[in-house]
Structure 1
Amino acid sequence: METVLMHFAEDIRFTDDEFVRFCQDNPSLRFERRKNGDIILMSLTGGETGNRNIELGADFVIWNRQSKWGYFFDSSTAFRLPDTSVIGAVA
């Protein structure tokens, strides 16, 4: 998977609301935001990888339904970390 790093000067970095809007305005793209404000543009997976990922995900869900250890999330789930990073963002 290829990624592109976009660096912004400190005075023009996205606020939380601006980053959400940016993601919503570009629904066909995948973004993450690092704690320093850099935006990472990530490419989509191909068919073979997508198939392998869904098979693996299904195995984990089946296992977790029996073991009840916690929760699983798909790759489009965004997580806001304490350092202000937003990882796995897709609007």
Structure 2
Amino acid sequence: MSGGWVYIVSNKPNGTIYVGVTADIRRRAHEHREGLVEDFSKTYGLKRLVYAEEHASITDAIRREKTLKRWPRAWKVRLIHTLNPDWNDLYETL
């Protein structure tokens, strides 16, 4: 089994956020940027990859995603600020 990623996308600094999980962060970030999937992120224009963390297995990534989704928004915002205080789009760094 291969690794996985937990990521957060947003529409602007301190804007709406979405927590997701994927085995292919480059493909998934591209899908968000281009609005290729009809979901919450497309509805709210969440195209900016503001946070990503790699995990050894997709199972670990899914477990972490479920944990983050239960967190209060303030905790998620603080997590983004620890690695990306300016909420830059990390897509180009992948």
Q: Same fold (TM over 0.5)?
A: no
Q: Which has the higher helix share?
A: 2
